[in-house]
Structure 1
Amino acid sequence: MALPSRYCPSCLASIRSTTTSSTNFALRSPAIFRFQSPFQQHQQKRNANQSANALKYRRKDQPASQKKKKARTTYLQPDLKKAIQFSLVDAMRYLKAAEVGRQPTSSKYELHIRLRTPKNGAVVRNRMQLPHPIKTDLRICVICPPESKEAKAALAAGASVVGEESVFEAVKDGRTDFDRCICHTDSLPKLAKSGVARILGPRGLMPSAKTNTVVKDVTATVRELVGASEYRERLGVVRMGVGQLGFTPEEMQRNVRAFVERVRKDIAGLSDRISKDVHEVVLSSTNGPGLSLNGEFRGEGSVSSSDLSVVN
């Protein structure tokens, strides 16, 4: 059958090539044509944008050195096998050399007891009276009726301020001229209503039964505070002054031994709640470094005790 004259073979060949090229173009690129629905056009654009954003903001794996590590539950402890440790006499010798030219009463020895302990839990906190107390000008306030026999006994024991309303008014006026404050149990209701807790609390002076500063026998407490020293565990270390620069090595040995034994007793009292143990004992002075002690009183080649007993 002959084709009409208007369909010449050359025209048919051109139509065939055009159709084939259009089909290949449609297969190669996801072009959006006008006859497609608006939903299909929006979906194609959205998929293209998501693919571009995924390539742009693709997360890279962090190296092992930069990955977040788990938080430690205990404090770091130095390896004592690699540490330089001293006997008590040698440590006192080097610390006295760091305090040359200072008055024996102006510088003090301080003992640091490092504990093996978890970060969270109960802490060691107490006060004690050393065999050789450090002379301090501790000002003690006793809240009790001013005309009572407890007030007179507290003043005789060494209290600086005694009273109730007069003490409350002085605190409200900003005059807290004392370092410790204890309260008689009968005066506790007046103390609670006075409104001085917001002033004494932030300064650590508010009496409470938890800190053994609300007592019946204020006289015995005042006598204990006058010659006693307080200590508290902070960041796994218990610190307290154990002597003045003029103390002899024998006096320092008694104080150090008493303090370490007292801390061990406090640890034993917390054994049912938390696991603690003494790891290291360090002796320092007001202006000197901290020297780790090896537990010995005198080492080989140490100076005699009489040489360290001479006042600078």
Structure 2
Amino acid sequence: MPKRGKNYKEAVQAYDKAELYDVDPAMEIVTKTAKAKFDETVEVHVRLGVDGRHADQQVRGAIVLPHGTGKTKKVLVFAKGPKAAEAEEAGADFVGAEEMAQKIQSENWFDFDVIIATPDMMGVVGRLGKILGPKGLMPNPKSGTVTMDVTKAIADVKAGKVEYRLDKTNIIHTPIGKASFGAEKLTDNFNALLGAIIKAKPAAAKGQYLRSVTVATTMGPGVKINPLKLG
């Protein structure tokens, strides 16, 4: 076990770790216990009652949070011709085609947070699957990152779009903002994300869908939210 600092220990004593809280008080606790010297990211961890190994129980999508994430993301767009020009006009940080794929492969270049690609470029991007996949950077139609509407896709990312997807243990980990947002804005973002996850419930899911919901800052302990009160 790593040694816990004084701030972490004080945070743990500030609330009951075993209790299941409603959303509003949980966000109050999270913002009040964020004691790091930097503006901590607030992340939600949702354990779902599905088995992601089955294609019909996958949960994946994206949503633009009402108050953004507090982080400006750098966008790489794979496009050619008029679509490349459109991407530059829309504020993409990097735009290109084969030469960008080459740069990622040969230079191990990852100075971006999100990749958007037009469908005709997926042959090029697909060859990077082994590099991009493990980093969660592979564009996907379900998350709106494989699209002809590059202007909207770029605008969504810059406005605070987040992706949610199951990991191997059937948990979704998604940031919902910074501790400095305050409880009210974090609650808005949390409700938007949970609403999207609930809406994405697969028909094949049986039993309780939301098994556990925890919210935590980068350096702070987790606060449990009562999943039965979330729909």
- Asked if these proteins are the same fold (TM beyond 0.5), I'd say yes
1:288 to 1:150, Cα distance in 2 relative to 1, 3 A = same
How far apart are residue 239 of structure 1 and its match? 2.0
Secondary structure of the structure 2 residue equivalent to 1:173? helix
CA distance in 2 between counterparts of 1:182 and 1:163 reads: 11
Secondary structure of the structure 2 residue equivalent to 1:259? helix
Query: 2:143, 2:163 within 8 Å by CA — same for their partners in 1?
Result: no
CA distance in 2 between counterparts of 1:118 and 1:208 reads: 21
Q: Which among 270, 273, 292 is matched to residue 224 of structure 2?
A: 292
Whether 1:274 and 2:199 are equivalent positions in the alignment is no
* Aligned match of 2:7: none
* Aligned match of 2:155: 223
- Unaligned regions of 5+ residues in structure 2, if any? 1-16
* Aligned match of 1:53: none
1:244 to 1:173, Cα distance in 2 relative to 1, 3 A = same
C-alpha distance after superposition, 1:113-170 (max 9, x if no partner): 232334743221111111111122322111112xx33223212323111112321331
Q: Which among 180, 184, 193 is matched to residue 250 of structure 1?
A: 184
Whether 1:108 and 2:41 are equivalent positions in the alignment is yes
CA distance in 1 between counterparts of 2:124 and 2:53 reads: 36
CA distance in 2 between counterparts of 1:119 and 1:196 reads: 23
1:170 to 1:212, Cα distance in 2 relative to 1, 3 A = same
Map 1:85-104 → 2, pairs under 5 A: 85-103=20-38
* Aligned match of 1:135: 70
Whether 1:233 and 2:150 are equivalent positions in the alignment is no
Comparing 195-204 and 258-267, the one that deviates more? 195-204
Query: 1:99, 1:287 within 8 Å by CA — same for their partners in 2?
Result: yes
Q: Larger C-alpha radius of gyration, 1 or 2?
A: 1
Q: Aligned residue pairs: how many? A: 206
Comparing 222-231 and 170-179, the one that deviates more? 170-179
Comparing 276-285 and 93-102, the one that deviates more? 93-102
CA distance in 1 between counterparts of 2:92 and 2:224 reads: 38
Greater relative CO (CA pairs within 8 A, separation 6+): 2
Map 1:47-196 → 2, pairs under 5 A: 83-103=18-38, 106-118=39-51, 120-121=53-54, 122-145=57-80, 148-174=81-107, 175-189=109-123, 195-196=127-128
Secondary structure of the structure 1 residue equivalent to 2:112? coil
CA RMSD of superposed structures (Å): 2.9
1:290 to 1:191, Cα distance in 2 relative to 1, 3 A = closer
Query: 1:182, 1:214 within 8 Å by CA — same for their partners in 2?
Result: yes
TM-score by length of 1: 0.57
User: How many percent identity over aligned positions?
Assistant: 28
CA distance in 1 between counterparts of 2:122 and 2:218 reads: 38
1:112 to 1:143, Cα distance in 2 relative to 1, 3 A = same
How far apart are residue 107 of structure 1 and its match? 0.2
How far apart are residue 211 of structure 1 and its match? 5.5
CA distance in 2 between counterparts of 1:101 and 1:108 reads: 11
